[in-house]
Structures are given as structure tokens and as C-alpha cells.
Structure 1
Amino acid sequence: MADVLRRAAGAVDGPGAGAPSDRRTGGLGRLGRRGRRHQSHLLFLLPALAYMVAFFGYPVVKNVVMGFQHYTTATFYSGRAPWAGLANYRAVVSSSVFDKALLNTALFTVGSIAGQFLTGLAVAVFFRRRFPLNGVLRSLLLLPWLVPLIVSSTVWRWILDQDNGVLNRFLGDLHLVQDRPGWLTSTSLALIAVIGVNIWIGIPFNVAILYGGLQDIPEELYEAAALDGATGWRAFRYVTWPLLRPVVAVVLVLGVVYTVKVLDVILGLTGGGPANATQTIASQSYQLSFQQFDFGQGAALGNILIAVSLVFAVLYLRANRRAVEL
């Protein structure tokens, strides 16, 4: 009789009577698994986040705060850094060196980026052709990029030396110059020499990135363009350049962010001289902080550089997003 009643109740409730409860249990299980998976992702991100905060976030915040303080060597002993407000910024901006350093920074950045990009693009297009030892030569091009900057600047300082430099001896043997130019001691030549050395250092980066972009352009497009008579310069103008433009935007923005804060090359070659002819905002910030020990004013100049780099970083992110969308 009990079995008959149970079967009757099952017929009334239907075969899916327990399904809603099971679906709720299954849904909660899936949510729990998803939450655990999300927590595991966060755990994997924590070391990288801690590294970024410790080695990037804290120094930037500390530098920003120092820019508004009278921070000197006495602060390391007393721990007191009186609030200065905008006094440090007014001091560095009104300095007689600031206008010269700002102009030199602009000239150094524009000259370096133009030279590196144009030369790198020409070399990348050249290496797109297949010829013997192509890979070996492309590998050798990376050497200036792999050598530490202070080592490169030291070698170039010897090359550009006025009395015993290889360059002046070579030019003299060819009778191309009568007097030995002071590449690093002349106020009219020093900045040009520093820009030239920085161009030499930055060419491998431009070649590597632009060559990778050129490799992504299908050969079929050049073949189709050749059928329409677009070869040589016309093929570059109508095929290569439009498809390479997203990569070019990224290279230029990254180059500006890197070049505007270059310090090693200038310190190794001229130290900002002669007569501030190669002084930039980065080198002036270094001198204020580690030669005059006025860390507050040095940090203020550093914050100006951070602001400039931040602008170009935003441009880079927008260019990168646009490149991904294309």
C-alpha cells in the first residue's frame, strides 16, 4: 500500500519535481568554482603587483612628494623635510639654465628620434630582401643596443677626442678637415655629437621593431601592386607605409618616452657641458640631486620629466589600442 502511495505522489509531482533544487545547487557550485578561479588569478597577480608597487609606485610617489619639500642631505639624519610648496618648481623654472636645458632636451629628442627612425626604417627595408648573411648582419646590428650605455659613451668619447680621437685622425688623413674639430669641447658641435651617438645607440631598436612590422605585410600585396605598376618607391608609398603606420606610431612614441630621459650618454660624453651646451632636463636634475645635493629641486625637475613622459605614454596606449583594432 505504501508503494502505491509513493508511486501516486510521484505521478502527481511529475518527473521533474526535484529539478529546480538541483539547478540551484548546480548554479551555486558553478559560482563557487568561478570565485575560486578568480581568487587563484588574483594570487598569481599579487607578486607582480607587489613588485610594481615597491619598485615603481613608491619611488614615483616619493619623488612627487620630495618635489614639494626642502629635501637636503640633512634630511637623511634629522628626518625632517620642511614643506616648500611650489618653491622648488619656481626655483628650477626661473633658473638661468632651465631655458637652455629645455631647448636642448627638445633638440636632443627630435634629432635623435628623426635620425634613429629614418635610418632604422631604411635598414629594415633593406634587410627585408633575401641575401647571404642577412641573419648574421641583423644580429650584429643589435650590438650597440646590448652594450651598456656608459660603456658605449666611454668608447665614443675616445673616438671623438679632439687630440687623439680616431675620427679626427681619419678625417685628417683624408684631408677633409684642416683643424681638428672639438666634437665634445665646442659649444656648437657638442650637442650634434651627442645626438649622433644617441642615434647610433637607438638604431637597433628601431630596426628590430620595424623589421618585425615589415614581416607581417603579405607578399601577395606587393605582387598585386606590381601588376598595377606600383614598384619601388610607389610600392613603399601605397603598400608598405599604410600597413606599417600602426607600428610606426608605437615606435615613435616609445622612442620619445625613452629619449626624453636619457642621462647615461650625456654624462659619459660631456657631463652637460661645455657651458651647458648639452645640458638637458634629465642631466640638470641629476646635477641638482647628486652634485649640489638639493634633492627637492632635483625631484621637481624629475616630476616635470614624469609629466612629459606620461603624456607620451597615454599617446602610446592610444596608438597601441588603435593598432590592435586595425
Structure 2
Amino acid sequence: MVAMPYPSAKPTATRKDVARLAGVSTAVVSYVVNGGPKRVSPATEAKVRDAIAALGYRPNAAARALKLGSSEMLGMVVPDATNPFFATLAHAVEEAAAERGYALLIANSGGSLASERRQVANLVSRRVDGVFLCSVLFEPDLRELEAADIPAVLLNHSAETPGFDSVGVALEEGARTAVGHLVWHGHRRIGLIIGTNTGGDLDAREVGWRAGLAEAGLPSGPVMRGPFSREGGYQSGRWLLNEAERPTAVFASSDLQAVGLLKACHEAGVRVPEDLAIVSFDGSAEAEFSWPPLSTVAQPVGEMAHAAVDALVGGGDHKRNRIFPATLVRRASCGC
């Protein structure tokens, strides 16, 4: 039996092939693909793009990166890619980066410090042009990024870190707003479901909750600690609802925790907001589409994303901490 040869692979189209088909120079093809530096007439650009489509030409990203000295790629590390807040934030950053001509590579640390460090090292090895780090620590270790001379922005980060840009939201003020709103509804025993963090640091939302109660002349209610997740909120809710002196209202430090709390309430026959009022934090779509819809302290995700991208690729050596105010969104869960 005579062996039949394998069909040869379709040859990869080159810039010269595109130029030949469009009847232009390779430089003109480069101007069209890269958006400059020289302008090309609309008619010529149309011919080049038709040739690109006909040949299936794909620019060599690696060669372009070598020529420009830039990968045109940014990295982002988030603690939980399944969390609707971080998914929304990553999408907003991706869109803001695209407006600047950058692609975004998203990595998930799973809430683990060891994984976060591995993901940062992976982004460094890929020579990204910058990193957005949503760290599991309030004071993350940034030495590897500094050693590689890769700029970073600490995103979803409210504490000032010398030498680095950071973008976050006023957590303490947002929590105080939530407590003040529950006090306005007449509640005098307000509990807290607060997320745990890797470093064991005191969360500013807890500080704001305590400050809000103190301003109203009220004692601290029960505090339940658990993961920033639906399961964390569910388990915290079960414990809280078994309190001898159950609170009449709860501030939850994330929308996901509040969704878990809602499940615990439904199982226990506790009506929301009649028996227990709830205000959460984040402003994710999940809060709007839970039942009842959650009143939440919303973070300005779009503004935060644009501020982070501007800080990373906008130029300038001045480092600063951008803190955005959060906004109370009133829905049924608090009694509004």
C-alpha cells in the first residue's frame, strides 16, 4: 500500500500578500493595521481591509510587541472571578482598557495569597504593560512588580500605599450611610454580617457600622463573620437568626452575603423586611434581581475602572489614592 501524503497546511498570509492584493505598499498595510502613524484615505483603507478579510491575514502580535516595546496587554488579578461584583468590575476595566488600545488578561486568585502571588508572577513573566491588583491583603507585597519595573494599580483598595496608585471606594462612609438609613427606618438593634479577609485586618465596613451605631447612640448588635460568598451569608444568617435577642435589621458587607442571608430568612420563616430589614454593600446586579430586591450601597464601578486605567497607562509619575463615594440604592429589603 502506498502511503498518501498529508495535505499541506494552508500557508499563512503575510503583510506582503495583503499589500500585493490591495495594490499598496506594505507600509500602508501597517498604517491600516496599527491605526497610524500616517493617515490613509478611506478608499485605500477599505481596499486593505478587504484584502485582509479575503486572505485571512492575522498580524503577528509578538513581532508587533518587539517593535513597539510594548505587549499592549494589561493584567488583572481578582480574588473571585465568580463574584458578580468582580465580574462586573473586570468587564468595566476591559472596556476602559480597550478604549486605550489595550487587551486585558484576567487571572483569578481564588482568595488565596499563594495563588495571588503565582498569578502576579505569571503576569510578570508574560511582560504585561501593567497590572490591576485586587489583592486579598490590605497591604500586598508588590516587590516582584517593582523589580520587573511593571506599573501596578491597587484596585478595589481604599488604603493609601506609598509608591503605587490605588483606586477604591469609601467603605467606612458607605457603611455609616447604610446604618443611618436603617436607623431612619426606626431600627434600634442592627446586626452585622462581615466578610473575613486573608490578613485578618479590620474591615472599614465594620468600622463604619460601629461608627454609625455610635452616632445614633445605639449599642453594637451581633456580629457574624464569614466568607464573602452566598454560603458565607447563609451560614452567618442561620447563626444570627438563632440569636436570643435577634436584631430587627442587618447590614451585610457584600451583596452575595445578603443573598445567602435571604435564603436563611426564607427557610426560617422570617419575613424581609417586616421581621428583618437588610441593607448590603456592592451594588451588583444580583442585588437588584434577588427577592425582595436588596437595598445596597453601590460602588461606582465604571468610574473606578476608568480611573484605574488612566492611572496605569495615562502617563505621569505622580502616584495617588483615588477614593470614590458609594451611593445608597433604596429597594424593598430595607422597607423602602
TM-score range, shorter chain: under 0.3
Q: Normalising by the residue count of structure 2, what TM-score does the alignment of the two structures yield?
A: 0.26
Larger Rg: 1
Q: Scaled by the length of structure 1, what TM-score is found?
A: 0.27
Greater relative contact order (CA < 8 Å, ≥ 6 in sequence): 1
